[in-house]
Amino acid sequence: MILKTDIFKTRRLMTVVAALAAIAVVCGGSKRDASLRLLYWNIQNGMWSDQPNNYDNFVEWVKKYDPDVCVWCEAQTIYEDGTSKARKADDRYLTENWGELAARYGHKYWTKSGHRDNYPQVITSKYPIEKILDIVGEEPDSVVTHGACRAAIKVGGKRVNIVTLHTWPQAYAYRAADREASKAEHGGDKYRRMEMEYICNHTILAEPKAAKEYWMMMGDFNSRSPKDNWFYKYDEGDSRLIVHDYILRNTPYVDIIGDRFAEEFHSTTYGKARIDFVYCTPKLYKRIDDARVVTDDYTRAPERDKNTGFHHPSDHLPILVDFNMK
């Protein structure tokens, strides 16, 4: 037999618990409300490796790390399953279906960068995304080949600017009439340097107060950093270093992996090259709890596909960064 006094006591207890929970949310919020776990990766041809599996392996891998924001380079399906045969544009699942794919790993919001070829970047997020600028198009409007974008989110009441990019990949300059001559003149490096200056001038350098704000910039830079030259041992002034030399000399950005692991080399490819970077402003850098290049059973590619030359799952490695935004 249940007495009325017992019922009243139970209801009173439930009311107190609910009130305490409400106070906790108002005073401090949940830990998750102030977290910012960033996961960046060049997923090689729209995660071509996992297309035949309906991206199930990829989704489960992302869920394991539970990121708050993801930035994906090469975020479009290009080839038929298991081949290097191009898909028709209207037969490509990505990029227009990123909302559907992102929802499978818990992200409600997404946006894609401007792009003029098959290699856009995509941002997905647990937080609403404000799209600010697409950086794309033909000269003179833009010299950026794979495109770039600027967006923003709010975490713990703080606005965080996100710049994504993917620079020209070849040793010769974009549109070079004589590719061999362009290679000899380091045309590819010089073109990437021009792209980077353009991107920075239209993002962080266009905002006078940016150095004291929360900014991050990331992508496949197809370039090496002077911070790693203790490992590469290139001659001073080598053109392979000029892209990141420009960033380090002309912007407030800090190279997260390069600064946190100054005496260690962390390749982001399956050769010996760190060409994927996550930069952030000093104010945001101070909020880093952890950062690393991710090498696990899924991302560690055993070999190239014999038919296509592509890696499984990608020819790049991801970067994971945890920020405390309390």
Q: Please tell me whether the overall predicted TM-score, pTM, comes out greater than 0.85 for this model.
A: yes
**C-alpha 167: how far from chain center:** 13
Residue in this structure with the two tokens 């800090």, named with its chain if needed: 254
- List, in sequence order, every beta strand (DSSP E) within 13-157: 35-42, 69-73, 109-112, 121-125, 130-135, 148-155
Look at residue 151 in the predicted model and tell me its pLDDT.
Answer: 98
pLDDT at 13: 46
For residues 72 and 165, give the distance between their C-alpha atoms in angstroms, rounded to a whole number: 10
Distances (CA, A) of 136 to 96, 111, 169: 18, 15, 16
Residue ranges and CATH numbers for the domains of the chain are 32-324 (3.60.10.10)
Q: How far apart are CA 63 and CA 66, in angstroms?
A: 5
Integer Cα distance of 296 and 308 in angstroms: 23
Give per-10-residue mean pLDDT for the chain (326 aa).
47 46 39 83 95 97 98 95 90 93 98 87 98 82 87 97 97 96 98 96 97 98 97 96 98 98 94 95 98 95 82 95 96
Q: How far apart are CA 119 and CA 117, in angstroms?
A: 6
Handedness of CA 200, 42, 275, 261 (dihedral sign): positive
**Distance (Å) of CA 226 to CA 20, 218, 238, 239:** 53, 17, 9, 10
CB 218 within 8 A of CB 291: no
Count of positions (residues) in the chain = 326
- Residue identified by tokens 């020819």 is 315
Contact 319, 291 (CB under 8 A): yes
Give the DSSP letter string of 121-175: EEEEESS--EEEEEE--STTT---SS-EEEEEEEETTEEEEEEEEE---SSSPTT
Q: What is the pLDDT of residue 141?
A: 64
Residue 302: per-residue pLDDT: 64
| Neighbouring residues of 308: CB distance < 8 A, sequence distance ≥ 6 | 79, 82, 83, 84
Instruction: Please give the pLDDT value at position 23.
Output: 37
Give kind and range of the element (H or E) at residue 190.
Answer: helix 187-201
Q: E-assigned strands of 239-293?
A: 254-255, 276-280, 288-293
